[in-house]
Chain A
């Protein structure tokens, strides 16, 4: 009845245990963070209020988790049903990525025991971009859970509930497209209020939401291509390349639009000179642009689009491009003023690594025990 199957392989393997060790190390540092305070494990300071945890776990992590979002747009909005086989793994990765973002937000929240204030209408500040991000990410995690519920119901054979859920699922799918559009664009808008601290090459003011949502899309597609090609290599399953090459075309268009706005803004605002300043900002901008341009150029040729190696490389390039765009804007070229510097501490890095390890462990467990991956036969 469903074309999805669990992999039914052993869960506790050597890599799984190594990931577990990483997670335990993270747990230790998290203990220190909650008992003694953030200052004992992070290098955050008066100028750099946000470090690796916010910028990787939330800003970059949720964008990496946009696979489910990007694919939902293709499958359900543009009505390209042939991509459906990719949907479940993409949804799972999104759920875990956003879960990690939510967890990261909680860990980084200085007064976490009052987090519920953000849900109390009399506390809400509707001028604050952060309010939109917080509520919208929380709502999206719920929506992802609902979208993924059929998988669990299928496993436990609860057809009655599953049929009921299927009847209303279209509404949650629609929400699952709207919500990421909202908060991914807002993640960009957050940069506006940071004003002069954001490097002029990344401070695009009115364009922030658009650039953020476009890069979230490219990263979402890249993740889908990346995961599908990798799982066919890693689990020795049949290649999904014919499906993926179609996505390649969409990617070319997206990056073209993005670059048009990105460079258009630089030219119109007279910031072209900054590109050749030879400082960190100009270097990073050029690197970031190269990482966007490479996949666009490669995927323009139909030949390359059906070559799984080139597809994989393009996906990797795009993942780095989108991540670097965020990293640059929020951290690397972010300059709060004289006297402040930041580089993540070892514990900060270990916590982030440990959380990613947890994410991978859960992913492995779920695909081995739940009907997530598409069966051998093509639909």
Chain B
């Protein structure tokens, strides 16, 4: 009898878990006024003006790796580098934007996901997404340094400062963190402002998506007027023949989409982008978690059953056990 009770409780629990469909949480939707950036790898000349502007805005030192002292030579994101330009190189690396024997640039910084993994996994809500502009910010006063956000970010963006006994997480906050607040003040991000070619453009996600789609539809060699700065009110424009774009806007759909979009002439897996599906892992994780812990109902029922069973069994034993 009692054993059956326990089994029943466990089976109904398992059934609830398997029928997760009813409670499934879909991908989140973009914020109503989501702002972001469009990075066009074919326009990037690898000058790293954006890297040094980013350091200036965030008050971070240059990182010197190897014997390259002329400018910041950080190779990857770190607690001192929130934005980095990486190089794709193949064979002789002779021609830009060619897969074989070619080279290309790729920007790495927080993608400001529509459905951010970092936010979903942080136990203490130290990462937050602005309800209006969709910017993902970090709040050290809440953070316990568990670094789950680093494991939950598909792009390895959050970086913990391991060399500091009182370290914190560092990531791009789209120049809108407390004390900087460029976006709230009507300015654009530092990197987009500094970019001489318009490879990094600032704007609303909607406007940037439209711009990216326009570029997708260009025939290779067709003259196009490329904006610099803010896509909706560029500070200047220049004309240039269009390259042969990959028909893929990174961030339109990947894992629920991102507010920072990338386009390129080289397939994104070659540029080191992760293999993501459309469904965000955050949404799957939350679906599983809320199916099991919906209002704590299941644990409460199981605890009730267990208490009953254990009590009976202890009383059964009363005779021979002290």
Interface residues of A (CB under 8 A from B): 1-2, 34-40, 42, 44-47, 49-50, 75-79, 81, 84, 105, 108-115, 117-118, 120, 123-132, 134, 169-171, 173-175, 177-178, 181-182, 185-186, 189-190, 192-197, 205-206, 208-210, 336-340, 379
Contacts of B125 in A (CB 8 A): 123-125
Name the CB-closest residue of A to B168: A111
Interface core residue of B76, B140, B165, B316 (most chain A CB under 10 Å): B165
Q: A129-B285, A193-B117, A193-B120 are in contact. List 18 more A-B contacts (CB 8 A).
A: A37-B161, A42-B162, A49-B150, A79-B3, A110-B146, A114-B141, A125-B119, A128-B123, A129-B289, A130-B122, A174-B309, A182-B299, A185-B292, A192-B288, A195-B117, A206-B17, A210-B14, A337-B156
With A and B bound together, what is the CA distance between A192 and B280 in angstroms? 10
Determine whether the beta carbon of A209 is less than 8 Å from that of B288. yes
Q: List 19 A-B contacts (CB under 8 A).
A: A1-B322, A76-B309, A76-B314, A77-B309, A84-B317, A110-B143, A110-B167, A111-B166, A114-B142, A114-B143, A118-B123, A123-B125, A125-B119, A134-B123, A174-B307, A193-B282, A206-B20, A336-B156, A379-B321
Residues of A within 8 A of B78 (CB): 46
Choose among B77, B281, B292 the residue with the greatest number of A CB atoms under 10 Å from its CB.
B281
A41, chain B: closest CB distance, angstroms: 10
Q: Decide if A112 touches B163 in the complex (CB within 8 Å).
A: no
The residues of A that contact B168 with a CB separation of less than 8 Å are 110-111
Q: Interface SS of chain A: helix, strand, loop or mixed?
A: helix
Of B53-61, B242-250, B271-279, the one with at least 4 CB within 8 A of chain A: B271-279
**Which residues of chain B from 139 to 160 have a CB within 8 Å of any chain A CB?**
140-148, 150-152, 154, 156, 159-160
Cα distance, A12 to B122, chains bound together (Å)? 44
Cβ of B121 within 8 Å of any chain A Cβ, yes or no, is yes
Bound: A2/B321 CA distance, A: 9
Which residues of the other chain, A, contact B307 by a CB distance below 8 angstroms? 170-171, 174
State in angstroms the CA–CA spacing of A75 and B125 once bound together.
40
Q: Which residues of B contact A44 (CB under 8 A)?
A: 160, 162
Query: With A77-B309, A170-B307 known to touch, is A46 a contact of B148 (CB < 8 Å)?
Result: no
Interface centre among B20, B121, B163, B303 (most CB of A within 10 A): B121
List, in ascending order, chain A residues with CB within 8 A of B303's CB: 174-175, 178
Residues facing A in B219-245 (CB within 8 A) are: none
Q: Is B284 part of the binding interface, using a Cβ–Cβ cutoff of 8 Å?
A: yes
Q: Which of A38, A127, A339, A379 contacts B76 (CB 8 A)?
A: A339
CB pair A177 B310 closer than 8 Å? yes
Q: Is B101 an interface residue (CB 8 A)?
A: no
Q: Say whether B72 faces chain A, with CB atoms less than 8 Å apart.
A: no
**The one of A113, A114, A132 that contacts B289, using a Cβ cutoff of 8 Å:** A132
**A189 (CB) vs chain B CBs: closest residue:** B288
Q: In the complex, what residues of A have CB within 8 A of residue B163's CB?
A: 36-37, 39-40
Per-residue interface assignment for chain B, residues 58 to 101, with 1 indicating a CB less than 8 Å from any chain A CB and 0 otherwise: 00000000000000000111100000000000000000000000
B147 interface neighbour in A37, A78, A110, Cβ under 8 Å: A110
A75 and chain B: residue at smallest CB distance: B313
Residues B144 and A127 in contact, CB atoms below 8 Å apart = no
B281 near A195 with CB under 8 A, answer yes
Closest 5 pairs between A and B when the two form their complex, measured CB to CB = A110-B145, A39-B162, A111-B145, A49-B150, A195-B281
Q: Assess whether B275 is in contact with A130, with CB atoms less than 8 Å apart.
A: no
**Contact for B124 among A40, A50, A123, CB less than 8 A:** A123
Contact between A49 and B160 (Cβ–Cβ < 8 Å)? Answer: yes
B211 at the interface (CB under 8 A from A): no
Contact, CB under 8 Å: B165 / A37: yes
* B320 touching A81, Cβ below 8 Å: yes
Q: How far is the CA of A208 from the CA of B288 in the complex (A)?
A: 9
Q: Specify the chain A residue showing the minimal Cβ separation from B5.
A: A77
Closest to B75 in A: A339
Q: How far is the CA of A210 from the CA of B291 in the complex (A)?
A: 13
Which residue of A has the minimal Cβ distance to B152? Answer: A193
Please give me the residue from chain A that is nearest to B315 by CB atom. A170
A128 — which chain B residues lie within 8 A by C-beta?
120-123, 148
Q: Are B276 and A194 in contact (CB under 8 A)?
A: no
Most interface-central of A81, A110, A112, A130 (chain B CB within 10 A): A110
Does chain A have a CB within 8 A of B302?
Answer: yes
Task: Give the distance in Å from the alpha carbon of A253 to the alpha carbon of B314 in the complex.
Answer: 26
Which residues of chain B are within 8 angstroms of A195 by Cβ–Cβ distance? 117, 152, 154, 255, 274, 276, 281
Residue of A nearest to B293 (CB): A132
Say whether B8 faces chain A, with CB atoms less than 8 Å apart.
Answer: no
What's the minimum C-beta distance from B101 to chain A, rounded to whole angstroms? 20
